[in-house]
Structure 1
Amino acid sequence: MATDTVVHQLAIKVGNKLHADRLMLATAESCTGGMVAGTITDISGSSAWFERGFVTYSNLAKTEMIGVPASMIEQHGAVSEPVAKAMAEGALRNSRAQVSVSITGVAGPAGGSEAKPVGTVYFAWSNRLSTAVETTHFKGDREQVRTQAATHALRVLLEFLEQR
């Protein structure tokens, strides 16, 4: 439960920063299945800074909901930096938010490969002017990978916001 507390505290800090800067956030989540959005909406008053969340678990959802080109998914795979970037940018295009975060990865226990083992997660953070992308590898079971991914997404989002 300590990690859940960390995620919650990070979400509060992100919310305070977004609210102070009068910005709205959109999320595009795949392997975390809405964990970031869920953590955010656990916070009373988050509607002042959280605009919407997309859970785009399937490839079709990524294409239909946030405009990730199917050809990009075919070429790079749904779990890739180009797709994470397209997810973050698509979340902004399909919302009224000014900032977004996206997460796509292999939470396990199945689905990994030699090139993308279980625990491989791609992130992107966008503010309509620039998009930062990162690849991280987490250890643990499915729940641990997903929780670590949500925590990392919020931690780096806070840094991204502070650099604006």
Structure 2
Amino acid sequence: KDHVEGFAPEVAWVTKSGDGALDNPIAIRPTSETIMYPAFANWIRSHRDLPLKLNQWNNVVRWEFKHPTPFLRTREFLWQEGHTAHATCDEADAEVLTILGFYAGVYEELLAVPVIKGKKTEKEKFAGGYYTTTVEAYIPGTGRAIQGATSHNLGQNFGKMFKIE
């Protein structure tokens, strides 16, 4: 419920096809949990199937702000998302920090862009998750920072919703 409600303002809806209105509007997905996790429920049958780690690149659409910034953030963008399942919360926490370190390394060591690692507030965290970590980069001349990447611990909320046992 928190996940769906948290993304509701960002979801783009298709209500028309050609000249006709659709009987049922179609949501353009802002993220992949609701697509991927039913498959997790089929793949994970016991603790021996853990950890499960998947990576994907895909386009997403978000209607989260009034004025997109070309080259920084538009309404549709390509992004990378990793999804993992672990036997314990400690293992999941360690994975969150490992991935955050990978993201920081890409920015700092590969792109030579300094970033600050941190944790999002309760209001900013991934909807339905336990917590969200982030790397943020300063934008010179603006006095602002931009989110570069995030890593989340989603806890068991999605596992329970999709009957991953």
Q: TM-score w.r.t. structure 2 length?
A: 0.29
In proportion to residue count, which structure has more strand?
2
Larger RCO: 1 or 2 (CA < 8 Å, sep 6+): 1
Which has more radius of gyration? 2
Q: TM-score w.r.t. structure 1 length?
A: 0.29
